[in-house]
Structure 1
Amino acid sequence: MPRLRSAAPVLPVLDLAAAIAHYRALGFAVEAYAGAEQYAFAERDGVALHLSRWADHDPARTGAHVYLYVDDADALHAAWSTSGTAGRHVSPVDTDYGLREGAHVDPDGNLLRYGSPLRRR
């Protein structure tokens, strides 16, 4: 059976230029698609996200949800929450399933949850 090699969730956005600027401020390298579609490719540390302009997108109803496994949830929260980006930043907390998790909701209602393994104390 063929192996899966990677995945790239597609995040719906209302304003592609604003979304590109937002994800660049979060540290992603973002490149707009050269074709007629309003689409962009974001990449950071080997993790890919795609951004797609969707006229019928309703941030309260149709946002995407992505989980990112990271090395240090606290460091990512510190970087993202001081980046000057719009949206909502949720401070990391320890979970009972062994991860320290935080979150960011972008202006288009897309939820980026992230977690790192809890450090043994």
Structure 2
Amino acid sequence: MATARRIAPIFPVRDLDAALAFYQRLGFSVRPYSGGGYGFASRDGLELHLGVVPADERRSGAAYLFVDDSDAMAAAWRASGVEVHTPQDTEWGQHEGAVVDPDGNVIRFGSPMRGETES
């Protein structure tokens, strides 16, 4: 049986340069694909792909980012000037927040609530 090794969500964007700048503000290393219309954002061994899609074909995407401290992540992203939905405790034991990029793509991020263990 084949083993999956990693996953990279692909977020549709209308302006690649703006999207790369946004993810760079979040602490990702970014780079455009040399062929144009596509880019990459990497951080802590994670990767997002950003692809330019015509407005009439665009839909937003979403990804969940497991972090060790969602409050610290929210504070760092807020300090970079990004609007952050403040982490809240959930009934499923995660302390979750979210950011929405300029194209409507959502990164929800969470860490175990205090006293909870990660599953």
**Residue of structure 2 equivalent to 1:109:** 104
Whether contact under 8 Å (1:67, 1:112) holds in the other structure is yes
TM-score normalized by the length of structure 2:
0.91
Structure 2 gap segments, 5+ residues each: none
**Residue of structure 2 equivalent to 1:46:** 45
Aligned amino acid, residue 67 of structure 1:
Y
**Residue of structure 1 equivalent to 2:95:** 100
Matches within 5 A, 1:24-63: 24-35=24-35, 37-56=36-55, 62-63=59-60
Give the whole-Å Cα distance in 2 for the aligned partners of 1:57 and 1:111: 19
SS of 1:119's partner is coil
User: How has the CA–CA distance of structure 1 residues 27 and 7 changed in structure 2, closer, same or farther, with 3 Å as cutoff?
Assistant: same
Give the whole-Å Cα distance in 2 for the aligned partners of 1:13 and 1:57: 12
Indicate which of 77, 80, 93 corresponds to 2:77: 80
SS of 2:2's partner is coil
Structure 1 gap segments, 5+ residues each: none
Task: Report runs of 4+ in structure 1 exceeding 4 Å deviation.
Answer: none
Percentage of matched positions with identical amino acids: 49
User: How has the CA–CA distance of structure 1 residues 30 and 38 changed in structure 2, closer, same or farther, with 3 Å as cutoff?
Assistant: same
